Structure 1
Amino acid sequence: MLKRTMMASVGVVALLGSPAQARSASEDASVPASPAGAADRGESGDIVVTANKRSQSIYNVASSISTVDTETMTAKGMNTLRDLTQDVPGLAIFSRGSDGANLIILRGLSSGSQTTSPTVGVYVNDTPFSFSIPVGGGSSVLQPDLDPSDIERIEVLRGPQGTLYGASTLGGLIKYVTRKPDATQLSGSIQDTVLGVEHGDVGNTARAAVNVPLIQDRVALRVSGFYRLEPGFIDNSRTGQDNVNQTRSYGGRASLGLYPTDNLSIVISGLYQKNDNRSLGAVNLNPLTLQPSPRDLTQQFYANSAFNSEYRLVDGQFSWKVGDYTVSSSTSSARAELSALLDFTSFLPTNFLGARYYLGPQDLLYTKFSQEVRLTSPAGKPLEWVAGLFYTSETVATHATVDGFRANGTPGPLVPRISQSGTDADFHEYAAFANVTYNITPTLALTGGVRVAHSKITDQITSGGLVAGAPLNNPLIQHGRQSADVQTWLASLNWRYAHDGSFYIKAASGYRPGGPVEPPPVLQPGQTIPSQFKADTVWNFEAGNRNNFLDGRVSTDVSVFYIRWNDIQLPYLVNGIRVLANGGKAISQGVEFLTRLRPAKGFSLSFNGSYTDAHLTTDAPLVFGHAGDRLPFVPRWNLTANADYETPISSDMIGKIGATYHYQSGIQTALSPADTSFIAFKGFSTADARLGVAVHDLEINAFIRNAFDKRAYVGGGFAGGLASGVPIQPRTIGVGFSAKF
């Protein structure tokens, strides 16, 4: 397999030819800021971000932020949010073994794999693209993991972002900042990468984008597309199929930019992404030793557990500068779909009702409309502020069945379908928010913020079959309703003690919406459950320092935090049916850091990492939790070291070489060993290397990831008496080229 990859790599290089010109090593390789405030890295290391919904230096932002640009991701062969855990302190991903099916965790705020709504939000520019609706079971799963094609950078905002970004940002926010249409010049890019996975198959990633001015300086169109084949490396020994976890992802984005005057900007965009996954990337483990069973990188399912997702987003961004003030509007419509096929055989007695195995197809559809209008004051005044109104409407429609089959694949002889259920729900939220900054001195700024929100949710749940105790043709129908008022707060003090140095302290709160609880169809005598669960809330206290000194040869960014989490929304099982309830309190505390060193021309070192202590402070008996139990899927340590060197090879060519070492400590899949899904996975370390050549606007990059082919697990658990784990990708070798014009 690796031989095939290298042969394909040679073919890619041969097609490139020999360009006549190249960028010299001394030229400034920074990317100029776009009209939307893209990252601008100058010699001082200053970075412009949009975390506070205005473009400003990162040294003026009293918050812990990481930025990753697509050039870095391309050089390292990174495509997904899971890959970002190496470069973003405090970021953890619980993987379900499929692109677009991960649980995002920041600062240790995780209540387990069965949580129904996320603790981390996802935005595309100013558009919310994650779902807060707390029913249906998929809003924590269908968080967009977008391909980085046509992305300027990814901003990761750690800590609650409740005042400016609203619900379900308890732990933080992932913000994709896209490239905007440029009405001044024709430009474009193309990229192709071939890679192979040890024990698996060969894959490919192709991306292209073009920007066309339609009316000089006034109208532009930008279009991009991608196709990505992620190689499979897990075999299904029961069906006899190899590399079943192969994934095909494809999609694109189109943006029309209208700039009728220098003070008016309108950008209308559409985004589409489809992930087709043949089977979840989980393997069977021996429940006692946690070693692969029956052999390495193997699963045993009666059918491939497909997990396919589809994302669509249409948004319009309006910005009008009136005098020194800016009026902004963001209007969007989002849609996320999931189609899955799960094997439920292990949950039932052998040959139950005469069937050899049971499969459960599931379909989920989430939609979202959002509208935000805000007014922003001019920067540089003694008083700066941003205030706005927000509205969102979300819907969910789900349908799931559990069907029995004979060994020959025909329907079960006695009761072919033992369960059929569905959920239809609507969620609405109205909010008003404001952040006000008082510049006490030119270098000292005090900020306060508040968001007042009202939410309401209604749902209808239908259930029939043996599990529900109701006929399939006359299912049980239940209705639920809840409304709530929630306030979130912010206070911070930022001292910019140098041009490229700042210290800040911050206190901020956040929340996830609550919702109704429909009792399971069958309850034990005398058994009762709450009729609703309320919002869970956090208060985050942090201090941080970032600076850049010795003429840019040393830069540091360090933050310490302490988070109190109250009324945690905990999913638990009642007679086999998942129910949400509030229970227990927790704290998460730790440190995050990033240090960059440039000891010599062309040579750079970076060290980043986090220590997170996230645990219950009270008992949570519903999920067998006790005070002191660690929160699920949260590693205590996450550490990365990078070394990179670039030097001129000739007058028109630059050579690059680099290496990465990454360590993640162990995780556990549930709060307590008393939980039947509990597994404690050991920590692991990986080593990566990369090699590249830059010739003007053309680059060739080769990389190797997990060079020593380590086997480790980033997801999994016990289910139906079987143990499973989601392994990291085995040794992967790739080579690709990218070109711009």
Structure 2
Amino acid sequence: MNHHTYARSHRRKPLVLACALLPLIALPAAANTTPVVEEVIVTAAKRQQSLQDFSGAISVVSDFSSIKNLGDIAAQVPGFSLVDAGPRNPAVLIMRGLRLDEIGSNDLGGDGSAIASYVDNIPLQGYFVPPSFSLKDLQQVEILRGPQGTLYGNASIGGLIRYVTAKPDLEKYSVSTTAEISQTDASDDLSYDTDLVVNTPLVDNTLGLRLMLGKTDHAGFIDNPYLLSGAQDDINDDETNQARISLLWQATEKLSLNSSYHYQKINVGDRQATNENFTGDEYTASSRYLQPMEGKLQLASIDVNYDMEWATLTASLNHYDYAHNERADQTDLYIGLDPDVEYYNLYDDLSAYNASIVDVVKDSAELRLASPDEQRLRWLAGAFYSRDDLDAYMGDYTPGLGEFFEMDLPGDLEYLATQTETLDEYSTYAEMTYDLTEKWDATVGARYFRYDDQLDVCITYFPDPTADCENGDDVSNDTLGKFSTSYQFSDDKKIYFLAAEGYRRGGANTAPAEVLNNRFYRPDQATNYELGFRSLWLAQRLELNAALFNIEWDDLQVQLETIDGRTAWDNAGKARTQGVELDASAQLNDVFTLHAGYSYTDAAITESIATIAVYDGNQLPGSPRTQWSLSLDFNREFNGALWDASIGMNRIGHVYTALNPEFASYQKLDAYNIASARVGVTLRNWRLGAFVNNIENTRGISGGRFDDFYGDQGQFEYVTRPRTIGVSVNYQY
């Protein structure tokens, strides 16, 4: 197939899918009932309100039948994308193009820290190796696009993801269990997924308990014949075990207490990455060492709500603890460090790996008052405190090098970096909404924050046992604002405008002091101007939402390379991201529902800084300029059984891995489509289902390491999971 034929065939795919769906619209309805869009209640504004009343770009996902991970959610949400590196490395989250650093391996990295993530009222820590949160037994996931600084503060410069867990039911006992088995192309083994959810009232209408247990075992599909320990197949397998217990106490009609504990442990065999250019095979890796990861996440919370009639008082105490250790092949890094000077290259059997241990603990407390929703003047005020404690150990090992040079390298350890950091945040915030008329309202909000960052870094180059240690204390504070106004044409149609600020906290660099311009870097800020329209049409059969946005991003946090080849952060320059987001849901008849989403994002540098190769007009890396999704759902009762099915496709546009060709890792990653389908039948308490993910067996590349510094063997690309076919059975009582 030549290039032009290939391009035409890919442009036709959306049209082919649409044409295939059109005949289904004319099928007769199963009943005479009139379908309507169900009301959705959201909690992201820190009070319960209807989705139609919310002013801002928001998507709510409550159907998890075809969703296994955050990537499946991103495929449905316009303006939201991620760099999917598989379960070993954190997925870098991007909303509306707000990302500046290069697409790389992201070892010991975070989720990008431009999107705040919450589990109920628990803020997750996004800066150091956060795991993907399990999507089992959730009520819904709320995704807010654009800065959310006044209510959520740090890391909400791009938006917010809020995981709302299912709460105990105080009235009825229930049990749900699911078992799933699947086969992935290029894999020799089967994958398994099981879970059990039990809900029981302990005291009717007063005390209830909910328990979730789950286990997921994904077979690997990547082989590696280059390992020093010998060739192995399916190296990137992963296993996750999880449990969550929730207790709800409705002490009185006005006082309630909800507490929960979530445990999640994951073990991953290696990266979900291949090196086709070196190996000649689509699903073969080339590293010398296996690169396993083990992570353990624990979340605990206590939420108290008290209705005082004139306001509702909410108090939250939260705990986050994530312990992470991993190994990474460093051989090609050491080979690249010594191209001209004879040292490492004198040792013919040179190999190296990094072993890292990171433990992050985040404790937080929040107290807020919210007025009743029915009054003309509605207000919200709160105070927030959090403390992050980080302990990190990062060591490079070069087996046999010490003996070769007759040096004392303790346990083959050549380089050791340790970091301890304590970060305190103090914030107060408030929002007030006033109904100017029956249909027109206005909202103003503000947040004051203060950070105190204490850092200690020690670096040792063996055989010299002397550690080079640096420490410092950085304090920053600022105030953010928000204004929005909306006009309700009718109960079903609304237009809004908002101007809102967000920020991402500064931090500390771990490279040696002599190669840094500064130990700390400052917060960066973004201001979002957005015009949106939310509407229901045709007796609520059709939902149409649109948002136009322009975000000014200042004091960018830029990742730079130090003189010793490591990376550090600094502040420099400005950028702008602007675009449009559209989503629609149409109930074609009693049987079929059509969903569609589209976004166009133009994210670019607006201030040139030639000294660091940043130029006006450079497209920001990591985010596709265009993306769309299209799906058709089927639901119909037949002979006492309920049949359901869905087919969908999403397209991810091309992505740049760096700002421009002056960066060694600069690549243009091709656009790709992913199509999936499922079908199921429910009879009384049982449901039997089947699915196929990645129908066309697309090998999409979302990121990787493309720097020539690592040579041909040290590069790799993160790839999508191949076609996976499976069946499942569910029982509910």
Question: Structure 1-normalised TM-score?
Answer: 0.88
Q: How does 1:99-138 map to 2 (within 5 A)?
A: 101-112=90-101, 113=103, 118-131=113-126
Q: How does 1:311-330 map to 2 (within 5 A)?
A: 311-330=297-316
Q: 1-side partners of 2:210 and 2:77: how far apart?
A: 29
- Aligned pair partner of 2:244 in 247, 253, 269: 253
Q: How does 1:192-211 map to 2 (within 5 A)?
A: 192-200=179-187, 201-211=189-199
Tell me if the contact between 2:121 and 2:318 (Cα under 8 Å) persists in the aligned partners: no
Structure 1 portions without partners, runs of 5+: 1-23, 30-41, 132-138, 287-291
Instruction: Kindly state the Cα deviation for residue 588 of structure 1 after the two structures are TM-superposed.
Output: 0.9
Q: Which residue of 2 aligns with 1:289?
A: none
- Aligned pair partner of 2:384 in 380, 390, 394: 390
- Aligned pair partner of 1:73 in 58, 64, 67: 64
Letter in 2 for 1:680: K
- Aligned pair partner of 1:177 in 164, 167, 189: 164
> How many aligned positions are there?
679
Instruction: Kindly state the Cα deviation for residue 622 of structure 1 after the two structures are TM-superposed.
Output: 5.9
Tell me if the contact between 1:324 and 1:378 (Cα under 8 Å) persists in the aligned partners: yes
Per-residue CA shift, 1:354-380, capped at 9, x if unaligned?
352100001111110100000010111
Per-residue CA shift, 1:142-182, capped at 9, x if unaligned?
1x422211111111111111111111111111100011112
- Aligned pair partner of 2:555 in 549, 561, 567: 567
Q: Which residue of 1 aligns with 2:12?
A: none
Pair 1:681–1:495, CA change in 2 (3 A):
same
Per-residue CA shift, 1:379-399, capped at 9, x if unaligned?
111100110111000011100
Q: Which residue of 2 aligns with 1:429?
A: 425
Pair 1:549–1:374, CA change in 2 (3 A):
same
Tell me if the contact between 2:41 and 2:49 (Cα under 8 Å) persists in the aligned partners: yes
Pair 1:305–1:219, CA change in 2 (3 A):
same
Tell me if the contact between 1:406 and 1:413 (Cα under 8 Å) persists in the aligned partners: no
Residue 275 (1) aligns with residue 266 (2): yes
Q: 2-side partners of 1:691 and 1:55: how far apart?
A: 34
Tell me if the contact between 1:398 and 1:422 (Cα under 8 Å) persists in the aligned partners: yes
Query: Match of 1:261, SS?
Result: coil
Instruction: Kindly state the Cα deviation for residue 28 of structure 1 after the two structures are TM-superposed.
Output: 10
Residue 82 (1) aligns with residue 75 (2): no
Q: Which residue of 2 aligns with 1:481?
A: 473
Q: 2-side partners of 1:282 and 1:620: how far apart?
A: 33
Q: 1-side partners of 2:435 and 2:148: how far apart?
A: 21
Per-residue CA shift, 1:251-305, capped at 9, x if unaligned?
110011111111111011101111111001111142xxxxx73312110111111
Bigger CA drift: 349-358 or 210-219? 349-358
Letter in 2 for 1:474: T
Q: Which residue of 1 aligns with 2:485?
A: 493
Q: Which residue of 2 aligns with 1:737?
A: 729
- Aligned pair partner of 1:235 in 188, 207, 223: 223
- Aligned pair partner of 1:148 in 120, 127, 135: 135
Letter in 2 for 1:429: E
- Aligned pair partner of 2:574 in 545, 561, 585: 585
Instruction: Kindly state the Cα deviation for residue 62 of structure 1 after the two structures are TM-superposed.
Output: 0.5
Query: Match of 1:296, SS?
Result: coil
Instruction: Kindly state the Cα deviation for residue 406 of structure 1 after the two structures are TM-superposed.
Output: 4.4
Instruction: Kindly state the Cα deviation for residue 323 of structure 1 after the two structures are TM-superposed.
Output: 2.0
Instruction: Kindly state the Cα deviation for residue 212 of structure 1 after the two structures are TM-superposed.
Output: 1.2
Instruction: Kindly state the Cα deviation for residue 705 of structure 1 after the two structures are TM-superposed.
Output: 1.1
Letter in 2 for 1:371: A
Q: Which residue of 1 aligns with 2:613?
A: 624
Tell me if the contact between 2:511 and 2:567 (Cα under 8 Å) persists in the aligned partners: no
Letter in 1 for 2:395: T
Instruction: Kindly state the Cα deviation for residue 473 of structure 1 after the two structures are TM-superposed.
Output: 2.6
Q: Which residue of 2 aligns with 1:9?
A: none
Tell me if the contact between 2:370 and 2:381 (Cα under 8 Å) persists in the aligned partners: yes
Q: 1-side partners of 2:531 and 2:722: how far apart?
A: 38
Q: Which residue of 2 aligns with 1:136?
A: none
Residue 709 (1) aligns with residue 700 (2): no
Query: Match of 1:169, SS?
Result: coil
Instruction: Kindly state the Cα deviation for residue 96 of structure 1 after the two structures are TM-superposed.
Output: 2.6
Query: Match of 2:196, SS?
Result: strand
Tell me if the contact between 1:100 and 1:275 (Cα under 8 Å) persists in the aligned partners: no
Query: Match of 2:595, SS?
Result: strand
Bigger CA drift: 450-459 or 603-612? 603-612
Q: Which residue of 1 aligns with 2:10?
A: none
Pair 1:404–1:516, CA change in 2 (3 A):
closer
Q: 2-side partners of 1:129 and 1:572: how far apart?
A: 26
Q: 2-side partners of 1:476 and 1:28: how far apart?
A: 74
Tell me if the contact between 2:526 and 2:551 (Cα under 8 Å) persists in the aligned partners: yes
Pair 1:704–1:483, CA change in 2 (3 A):
same
Per-residue CA shift, 1:329-368, capped at 9, x if unaligned?
1110101122111111111238546352100001111110
Per-residue CA shift, 1:652-696, capped at 9, x if unaligned?
102222211211111121112211122211001122121111223
Residue 506 (1) aligns with residue 514 (2): no
Q: How does 1:252-401 map to 2 (within 5 A)?
A: 252-286=243-277, 293-349=279-335, 352=345, 354=347, 355-401=349-395
Instruction: Kindly state the Cα deviation for residue 452 of structure 1 after the two structures are TM-superposed.
Output: 0.5
Q: Which residue of 2 aligns with 1:669?
A: 657
Tell me if the contact between 2:459 and 2:512 (Cα under 8 Å) persists in the aligned partners: no
Letter in 2 for 1:280: R
Q: Which residue of 2 aligns with 1:536?
A: 524
Q: 2-side partners of 1:704 and 1:540: how far apart?
A: 39
Per-residue CA shift, 1:547-571, capped at 9, x if unaligned?
1111222111111111111111111
Q: Which residue of 2 aligns with 1:244?
A: 235
Tell me if the contact between 1:274 and 1:310 (Cα under 8 Å) persists in the aligned partners: yes
Q: Which residue of 2 aligns with 1:157?
A: 144
Identity of aligned residues (%): 27
Q: Which residue of 2 aligns with 1:405?
A: 399
Letter in 2 for 1:391: Y
Tell me if the contact between 2:681 and 2:687 (Cα under 8 Å) persists in the aligned partners: yes
Instruction: Kindly state the Cα deviation for residue 187 of structure 1 after the two structures are TM-superposed.
Output: 1.4
Q: Which residue of 2 aligns with 1:35?
A: none
Q: Which residue of 2 aligns with 1:648?
A: 637
Q: Which residue of 2 aligns with 1:134?
A: none
Q: Which residue of 1 aligns with 2:413?
A: 417
Instruction: Kindly state the Cα deviation for residue 410 of structure 1 after the two structures are TM-superposed.
Output: 9.7
Per-residue CA shift, 1:11-30, capped at 9, x if unaligned?
xxxxxxxxxxxxx976999x
Tell me if the contact between 1:353 and 1:413 (Cα under 8 Å) persists in the aligned partners: no
Pair 1:368–1:681, CA change in 2 (3 A):
same
Question: Structure 2-normalised TM-score?
Answer: 0.89
Instruction: Kindly state the Cα deviation for residue 598 of structure 1 after the two structures are TM-superposed.
Output: 1.9
Structure 2 portions without partners, runs of 5+: 1-28, 339-343
Tell me if the contact between 2:682 and 2:688 (Cα under 8 Å) persists in the aligned partners: yes
Q: 1-side partners of 2:510 and 2:222: how far apart?
A: 39
Pair 1:49–1:450, CA change in 2 (3 A):
same
Per-residue CA shift, 1:222-247, capped at 9, x if unaligned?
11011011221111121311111111
Residue 448 (1) aligns with residue 437 (2): no
Q: 2-side partners of 1:335 and 1:463: how far apart?
A: 25
